[in-house]
C-alpha cells in the first residue's frame, strides 16, 4: 500500500487543527493510505486525551508510563487481524509493511492470551489478534502535539472512505464530554464461583505435587451487571488518575465492547534493532509518609525472599531473550518502581534484534527476531501463567472456566520505522453493554490455600472496582 503524507501548518489548538484538516483537499485512491497531520502548539494531557474520546463508538487510547507517548484515536481507517493461526505471519507482515512509514503512524491492538479465540463470546469483536489505525487521532510525543486524519482508499469505493473520515472529523469537532454518573450494580457473578474455585485449586495442588509444574496462575472473572451501560472512556479516566505511572490503554472495536486498563509492566519495546524488556517481581505497599515509604522500599531491596523471586524472573526473561535476540544486557541490580499503591523490584533489560547474519558466527545463534518471534518468546510471563510455561498454559486452557481474551495478554501498538510497545494487560476490565468484567489472578504453588487465595483475589478485585468506578469497594467490588 502506498502512503501519502501531508503535513499542514501549525495550529494554535486542537479545534483549529481539526478545522484545518476538514478544510484540506483530502483525496482517496485505491491501494493508497493518506495521512494528513497538523502540529498543535498547545500540549495535551492524559485526561484531555481521554475526554476527546467520549461518545465515539469505536476508539483507542494509549499513554505509556514514562509520559513519552499519548495517542487518542477515533474510528478505524484500517485494521489487520484474524484467527490465531494467522497471528505470527500477520504480525510480521504488518511490521514489514510499516517499516518505511513515519514513526507516528501506529496501529493499536493486542493478541489474545491463549492465541486462539472462539467465534462467540465476549471477545469475538477483538479477534485472536487485531490492530487498528485510528481514522482521526490526537497525539503527543517528545516532538510535540498533533492531530491527524487517515483515509484508506478501498478498491470498491474510495470516495465512501473519504466521506467516513470527514464524518469522523465533524463528529470529533462537535463532541461534548460525557458527565460521569455513578454506577449502580444490580448483580455480581464470579467465574469460577467459590466451590468450583476450591476444586480447581486443589486439582492444581495435586498437579504441582505429581508433575514438573511448579507454579500456575489461576484467574477469576467478576461480572458486574449494571443498571445502565457505562462509558469505557469515563471509567478509564478515573482509573488513569489513580495510576499515573502505568500504561493506560483502551481498545473499543465496536459500540458494545471495550477493554481498558492501567498496567505497570512492559512486555516488549522495539525501536529499530533495539529491544527492551524487563522483570517486575517482588512487592511492598507504599508508605503513608515519605519516611515510611523509604523504609518499605529499603526492606524490599534487602529482602532475601523477594530478591530470590526477582532473580528467578530476571534469569527467565534474559534466557528467553537470548533465544531470539543478541547482545542481551541486564542491569547490575534491581531498582524500586513506585506505583500509586505498591512498589516493585524492577530490572530493565536491553538486547539487539537477531538476524540471519548472526548464525554463521555464533554457536546456537538466536532465531531471527521479528515482532512475532519476540512476542511469542516473552508471552505469557510466569507472573500471569506459571512455570514451566507450556505445562502451565495447557493446564489453564483445560481448567479456567472463561476466556481470558486480552486479559494478561500483550496489548499495545505497532508503528513505523520498526517500532512497537506492549504492556502485559493486567489491572484491566472489559465492558460488554451493561456488564463490567473485572479480572485478577493468584499464583498457586505448593502449600497454597484455596480460601486464602480467594480472599486475596477478592481484595484485588475490590481495589480494581474502586479505582475504575470511584465508588467504595463494597458496591460491586465484593461478592
Place of cell 508508605: 287
Active site residue 265: yes
pLDDT band for 118, please (50, 70, 90 cuts): low
Active site residue 456: no
Q: Does residue 165 or residue 10 have the better pLDDT?
A: 10
Catalytic residue among 37, 76, 161, 265: 265
**What's residue 160's pLDDT?**
81
- Contacts for 390 with CB less than 8 Å, ≥ 6 apart: none
Residue 202 vs residues 216, 313, 437, 451: alpha-carbon distances, Å: 12, 25, 25, 11
pLDDT in tens, 356-392: 565 544 455 566 679 999 999 999 998 899 989 999 9
**What's residue 479's pLDDT?**
31
Are the C-beta atoms of 441 and 219 separated by less than 8 Å?
Answer: yes
Lowest average pLDDT, out of 156-170, 226-240, 297-311, 427-441, goes to 156-170
| DSSP helix/strand/coil, 417 | coil
Which domains does the chain possess? 2-173 (3.60.120.10)
Q: Does residue 353 or residue 115 have the better pLDDT?
A: 353
Residue 99 vs residues 279, 443, 466: alpha-carbon distances, Å: 28, 39, 42
| DSSP helix/strand/coil, 274 | strand
Crossing angle of helices 290-302/304-324, nearest 10°?
70
**What's residue 85's pLDDT?**
84
Are the C-beta atoms of 224 and 185 separated by less than 8 Å?
Answer: yes
Q: Where are the alpha helices (DSSP H) in 243-388?
A: 290-302, 304-324, 371-378
pLDDT in tens, 2-25: 889 999 999 999 999 999 998 888
Catalytic residue among 76, 95, 161, 215: 215
Lowest average pLDDT, out of 44-58, 172-186, 236-250, goes to 172-186
pTM: 0.94
Amino acid at each position: 500500500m502506498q502512503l501519502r503524507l501531508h503535513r499542514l501548518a501549525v495550529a494554535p489548538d486542537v479545534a483549529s487543527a481539526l478545522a484545518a484538516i476538514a478544510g484540506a483537499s483530502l483525496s482517496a485512491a485505491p491501494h493508497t493510505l493518506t495521512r494528513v497531520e497538523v502540529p498543535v502548539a498547545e500540549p495535551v494531557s492524559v485526561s484531555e486525551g481521554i475526554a476527546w474520546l467520549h461518545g465515539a463508538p469505536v476508539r483507542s487510547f494509549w499513554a505509556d508510563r514514562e509520559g513519552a507517548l499519548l495517542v487518542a484515536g477515533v474510528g478505524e481507517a484500517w485494521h489487520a487481524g484474524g484467527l490465531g493461526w494467522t497471528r505470527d505471519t500477520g504480525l510480521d507482515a504488518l511490521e514489514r509493511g510499516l517499516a518505511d512509514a513515519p514513526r507516528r503512524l501506529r496501529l493499536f491492538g493486542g493478541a489474545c492470551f491463549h492465541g486462539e479465540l472462539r467465534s462467540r463470546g465476549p471477545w469475538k469483536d477483538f479477534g485472536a489478534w487485531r490492530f487498528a489505525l485510528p481514522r482521526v487521532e490526537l497525539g503527543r510525543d517528545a516532538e510535540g502535539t498533533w492531530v491527524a486524519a487517515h483515509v484508506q482508499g478501498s478498491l470498491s469505493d474510495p470516495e465512501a472512505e473519504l466521506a467516513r473520515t470527514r464524518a469522523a472529523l465533524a463528529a470529533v469537532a462537535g463532541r461534548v464530554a460525557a458527565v460521569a454518573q455513578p454506577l449502580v450494580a444490580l448483580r455480581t457473578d464470579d467465574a469460577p464461583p467459590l466451590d468450583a474455585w476450591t476444586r480447581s485449586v486443589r486439582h492444581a495442588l495435586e498437579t504441582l505435587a505429581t508433575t514438573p509444574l511448579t507454579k500456575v496462575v489461576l484467574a477469576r472473572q467478576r461480572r458486574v451487571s449494571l443498571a445502565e451501560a457505562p462509558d469505557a472512556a469515563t471509567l478509564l479516566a478515573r482509573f488513569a488518575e489513580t495510576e499515573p505511572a502505568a500504561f493506560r490503554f483502551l481498545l473499543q472495536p465496536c459500540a458494545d465492547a471495550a477493554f481498558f486498563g492501567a498496567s505497570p509492566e512492559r512486555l516488549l519495546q522495539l525501536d529499530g534493532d533495539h529491544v527492551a524488556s524487563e522483570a517486575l517481581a517482588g512487592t511492598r505497599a507504599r508508605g503513608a509518609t515519605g519516611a515510611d515509604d523509604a523504609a518499605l522500599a529499603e526492606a524490599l531491596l534487602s529482602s532475601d525472599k523477594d530478591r530470590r523471586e526477582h532473580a528467578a524472573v530476571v534469569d527467565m526473561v534474559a534466557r528467553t531473550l537470548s533465544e531470539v535476540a543478541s547482545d542481551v544486557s541486564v542491569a547490575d541490580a534491581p531498582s524500586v518502581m513506585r506505583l500509586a499503591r505498591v512498589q516493585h523490584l524492577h530490572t530493565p533489560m536491553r538486547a539487539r534484534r537477531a538476524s540471519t547474519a548472526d548464525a554463521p558466527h555464533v554457536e546456537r545463534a538466536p532465531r531471527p527476531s521479528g515482532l512475532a518471534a519476540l512476542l511469542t518468546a516473552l508471552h505469557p510471563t510466569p507472573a500471569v501463567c506459571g512455570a514451566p510455561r507450556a505445562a502451565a498454559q495447557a493446564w489453564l486452557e483445560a481448567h479456567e472456566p472463561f476466556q481470558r481474551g486480552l486479559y494478561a495478554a500483550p496489548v499495545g501498538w505497532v508503528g513505523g520505522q520498526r517500532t512497537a510497545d506492549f504492556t502485559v494487560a493486567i489491572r484491566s476490565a472489559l465492558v460488554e453493554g451493561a456488564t463490567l468484567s473485572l479480572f485478577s489472578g493468584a499464583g498457586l504453588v505448593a502449600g497454597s490455600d484455596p480460601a486464602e487465595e480467594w480472599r486475596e483475589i477478592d481484595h484485588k478485585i475490590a481495589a480494581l472496582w474502586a479505582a475504575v468506578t470511584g465508588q467504595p469497594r463494597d458496591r460491586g467490588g465484593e461478592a
